[in-house]
Each structure stands twice: as C-alpha cells, then as structure tokens.
C-alpha cells in the first residue's frame, strides 16, 4: 500500500519563517539519525511478523483494514506529538507497525528458493536510490517546492489505483504500478530531503516520517518487482 498518498498533506505544513543554516544542518542531522534508528523497529516488526505468521494468517481484506486503521492512527499520533520527545516514541511504534505489515510480502518472497537474495537486492536498490537522491538534493540549487503539488496528485492517483487493483488482482497492473511507485517515491525522496536542506521543514520528526514513507514504498515496490520477475521455485 502507498501510505504517502494518505499522509503527505499533513506533513507539508508551512513553516513560520526562515531558519539559520546551523539550524537547517541540525534538523538534517537529527532527521538522518532518527531515520537510521527507525529501521531497527521496522526490521524487528518484520521479523516478528514472518516468524509468527500473524499477518499471513489474516485474510487480505482484514489485513487491509488493520493496515489503514493502524497507519492512519499512528501517523496522526506522530503529527500530534512531533514537538515533544513522545513523538520519537510514537514514530518508532509506527515503524514497528509498518515492519509488521511488510511481513506478509517478505514471507511470500522468502517462499522462493532465492528469496533472501531478492530481499537483499531490494534493500541494496533502495539504499542506492536514497543515497543518490540525498546527494542530488545537496547539489541542486533550484527550488523544488513547486514539485509538491504534482507529486501529491500522482501519489493520490497511485493509491486509488492500488485500491482498485486490490479487487481486480491484475498482475500486469501490479507491475506497472510498482514501476510507477519506484519512480514517484524516488522523486518524493529528493523533494523531502531538499525541503529539509532548504529549511522548508524544520521538524525532524515530520521530516523523518516523510522520508521513511518514501523509502518504505520504494523498497516494497522493488521487492514486488523482484519477486514477480526473479522469484525461483525449487
């Protein structure tokens, strides 16, 4: 699922005024540190989900309801607590939940004889996208704030298309949407990192949540594509 389509509007609230370069660097540094930390509960949640089979035991419909309610609720809580230390704890709880939600796909991929290799390839591809977008955001001088509206429209359309395909169950449509998702959220990653660098986002918890969602969607889409085209059965 594409959480970014549901949440981006709340993350992009305008800031009250310009901040110093020192403050911008502090926000960026804290964002990267919290982003790295957020991967720990994500991996833990994914491991627990795969080990227990809790998500695989749910029907797809129930799983979707749990995902939407849990994701919406936790992201709302993150935004409400982002100006306090509680926001960090809530964000980490959210990333644990997202790891748990990812476990169904991970378990399916691990069902292939080369499943572990596919997961590592998806991880490596996502890392490459992240570092490329971070480097690009650091050298681009152009203001990218105008991209936000176009990216948001694209994310909403993509989210609706994924919901439609949940009922249609078209493999061809799944492939097309996954490819689009990789491109769209790579662009979102560039946009979000650039906003922090330029001082457009001054809250590192909100910035971390935004970039985390970008990374999550790129990884999930790459993993889906690798599973479809590269999965091998014994």
The pLDDT score that the predictor gives to residue 24 is 84
Looking at the whole model, is its pTM more than 0.75? yes
| DSSP code at position 20 | -
What pLDDT does residue 1 have? 45
Confidence tier at 144 by pLDDT (50, 70, 90): confident
pLDDT digits (tens, 9 = 90+) for 69-104: 999 999 999 999 999 999 999 999 999 999 999 999
Q: Is the Cβ–Cβ distance between 87 and 68 less than 8 Å?
A: no
Q: What is the pLDDT of residue 14?
A: 38
| pLDDT value, residue 39 | 97
Q: Around Cβ 215, how many Cβ atoms within 10 Å?
A: 22
| Contact in structure between 129 and 186 (CB atoms under 8 Å) | yes
How many structural domains compose the chain? 1
**Mean pLDDT in residue range 226-231:** 90
Domain that holds residue 182: 4-230
| Whole-number pLDDT of residue 18 | 59
């Amino acid at each position: 699922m594409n959480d970014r389509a549901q949440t981006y509007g709340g993350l992009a609230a305008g800031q009250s005024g310009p901040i110093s370069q020192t403050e911008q660097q502090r926000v960026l540094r804290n964002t990267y540190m919290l982003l790295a930390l957020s991967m720990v509960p994500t991996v833990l949640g994914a491991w627990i989900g795969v080990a227990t089979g809790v998500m695989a035991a749910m029907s797809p419909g129930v799983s979707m309801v749990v995902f939407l309610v849990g994701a919406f609720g936790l992201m709302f809580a993150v935004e409400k607590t982002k100006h306090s230390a509680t926001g960090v704890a809530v964000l980490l709880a959210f990333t644990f939940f997202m790891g748990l939600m990812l476990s169904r796909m991970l378990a399916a991929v691990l069902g292939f004889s080369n499943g572990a290799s596919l997961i590592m390839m998806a991880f490596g591809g996502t890392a490459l996208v992240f570092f490329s977008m971070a480097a690009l955001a650091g050298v681009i001088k152009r203001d990218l704030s105008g991209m936000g509206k176009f990216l948001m429209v694209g994310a909403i359309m993509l989210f609706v298309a994924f919901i439609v395909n949940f009922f249609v169950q078209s493999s061809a449509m799944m492939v097309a949407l996954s490819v689009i998702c990789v491109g769209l959220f790579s662009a979102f990653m560039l946009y979000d990192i650039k906003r922090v660098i330029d001082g457009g986002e001054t809250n590192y918890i909100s910035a971390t949540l935004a970039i985390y969602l970008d990374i999550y969607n790129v990884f999930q889409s790459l993993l889906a594509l690798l599973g479809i085209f590269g999965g091998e059965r014994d």
